[in-house]
A and B are shown apart, each in its own frame.
Chain A
Amino acid sequence: MKQFLNIIIKLGSIDRRYIFILVGLSVLIPLIRPIDIPIRATSQSQDVFNALDALTPNSKVLVSFEYGPSTKPEIHPMSMGILRKLFSDGHKVYATALWPDGIFMSVEALNQTEEEFSLEYGVDYVNLGFRPGNEAVVKGVAADIRTLYTSDTRGNHIDDISMMDGINNINDFDFVFSLSAGYPGTKEWVQYACDPHDIPMSTGCTSIQVTEVLPYVEAGQVKGILAGMPGAAEFEKLVNIPGEATGMMAAQSFAHLVIVAFIIFGNITYFLKRRSDKKNLGEK
């Protein structure tokens, strides 16, 4: 028994690189050999779906892309799910970006949905692109969008885009959706645009941001939240279009199981080591 405990204690101080390998394998294997796992929508994801579902057809929705390639695996599946939902319900989408690399993300997502839904640029959607200035941009959109955006990403003048007629500030939108990976992002939309002007908004954000945004969701300032990749997979389930996130959930779940197992194991070895150290000290 003592020998067995010693082995357990020794395993507790194993080189961290072995743990990296095991976590890596737990992600890699389900990606190579996909496994279907059941996905059930949480109340927060359901709230996002309900908020979008409640919009009357032809609503004007501002979708802000605040993420880049580094957080693409988490947010991009949400973007696709949200855009598919909005276009299939016949809404008008106004895309903006608070991050410079958000332009690439918006162009990629909108090009794909344009093909899927046979959309017409300038009629069904417009991409206003990126403007630097963080919260000042949000404040600018809230106050006077035309001062901030004089042209779109394709170089068209704002006045020449038909769906921009009557759009002057945040009050002209029916809903705001923030696809956010950090600062500037959801928080800034809440603080400088949607709260002061009472415009309903919702968000899809990275897992790391969830605890920061949840108080706004609990307070009703944000209508639901898509939390990281699981949030994206849940939304795909709700709109009934399985996408990228659904396929990745098995890898995510297996990796979590391995990490939880390591945390439990690490704690057990910690307590065993502490007990054995105390015992050795007593013997001396």
Chain B
Amino acid sequence: MFTIEVFGTWFAVFLTLAIFSYLYDDNPFYKAAEYIFVGVSAGYWTVTFFWTQVQPNLFGRLWPSLETVNADSIFIKIWYGIYNIFGIFLTGIFPKGGIVGHPEIRFIYIIPLILGIFMLLRLVPSVGWLARWALAYIVGMAAGLRFYGFLNSDIMNQIKATVVDFSGSWVSILNGVIIIIGTLTGLLYFFFSREQTGVLGKLSKVGIYFLMISFGASFGFAVMGRISLLIGRFNDLIEFSSSSHNYATFWLLAIMIIVLGAWAFQKKSESGEEVTN
């Protein structure tokens, strides 16, 4: 029976095979899968961001449930009047009586709301420059946040870790010495204030070897990771080739091979015609 679950598996198999088809050549199947992936990802991220952050944590803090807010003042009544106007058009986002979750109104959240609107104004060329304010805040905040993180964990603690502990076993001492040589010579390779000749040149060459070993390890791990992902896709393709999934893998593989074959043949004859002309 062709249920919605079976349709889902057929679609998953189609997309997997379409991506694999790039190994043969860039083709319409691959392009379709690529565009679907980009579109679905963008849509999914937008919806998730909105419903996990913007609606509950921004609107929810600006217009919390009236059950928890003292709405006696005229200002609060006007504030919720604006909310009710939004609620006429977007009931799901602005439910009647405020958004449940926060005990009090936090007017400070008007600032992120305004910065968020500025960000969207990039779409309007005449006032697009306002987006720079929001971007400036993001860049400044990220730089400050990251500076602290890197300074503490990546510089201070990593420098501490290069100290050789001579009370340990000879293996750990040797390991420590190798780490300190690798760190210093690796850093010397990136020292460009002097020409890398003589002792500096020799030491930076040692640094290159350490860097090469590191790149080799990274490459090895990258290959390992990619193979793991390939195993994951193959596992699914094997599972979906069973009768419970109406032999999705076999059918779609056969169809794609035929269509790709015809496409390649057509492409070849078209390029042949162009050469003749």
Chain A interface residues toward B at CB < 8 A:
17, 20, 23-24, 27-28, 31-32, 70-74, 100-101, 129-133, 135-136, 139, 148, 150-151, 157, 188, 190-192, 195-196, 206-211, 215-216, 218-221, 227-230, 248, 251-252, 255-256, 259
CB-defined contacts of B223 to chain A, threshold 8 Å: 256, 259
- Assess whether A252 is in contact with B227, with CB atoms less than 8 Å apart: yes
Given contacts A192-B145, A195-B153, A219-B157, contact A228 B224 (CB under 8 A): yes
Interface of A is mostly: helix
- The contact of B23 among A17, A207, A210, by CB within 8 Å, is A17
- Within B142-156, which residues are at the interface with A (CB < 8 Å)? 142, 145-146, 149-150, 152-154
A57 to chain B, nearest CB (A): 30
The 4 closest A-B pairs by CB, nearest first: A73-B232, A191-B149, A219-B161, A207-B225
CA distance A59 to B224 in the complex (A): 34
Chain B interface residues toward A at CB < 8 A:
23-24, 44-45, 48-49, 52-53, 56-57, 60, 100-102, 141-142, 145-146, 149-150, 152-154, 157-158, 160-161, 179, 214, 217-218, 221-225, 227-235, 238
27 example contacts (A-B, Cβ-Cβ < 8 A) are as follows A23-B230, A28-B234, A31-B231, A73-B233, A74-B225, A74-B228, A100-B45, A101-B44, A129-B52, A131-B52, A148-B57, A150-B101, A191-B153, A192-B145, A195-B152, A195-B157, A208-B218, A210-B221, A211-B218, A248-B231, A251-B227, A251-B231, A252-B224, A252-B228, A255-B231, A256-B224, A259-B223
Q: Which residue of B lies closest to A150 (CB)?
A: B101
B252 to chain A, nearest CB (A): 16
CA distance A191 to B151 in the complex (A): 9
CB-defined contacts of B153 to chain A, threshold 8 Å: 190-191, 195, 216, 221
Q: Which residue of B lies closest to A100 (CB)?
A: B48
CA distance A221 to B155 in the complex (A): 12
CA distance A208 to B149 in the complex (A): 22
- Assess whether A211 is in contact with B49, with CB atoms less than 8 Å apart: no
B108 to chain A, nearest CB (A): 12
- Assess whether B157 is in contact with A72, with CB atoms less than 8 Å apart: no
Given contacts A20-B23, A228-B224, A229-B228, contact A132 B52 (CB under 8 A): yes
CA distance A75 to B17 in the complex (A): 23
CA distance A6 to B205 in the complex (A): 36
CB-defined contacts of B224 to chain A, threshold 8 Å: 207, 228-230, 252, 256
- The contact of B228 among A24, A73, A139, by CB within 8 Å, is A73
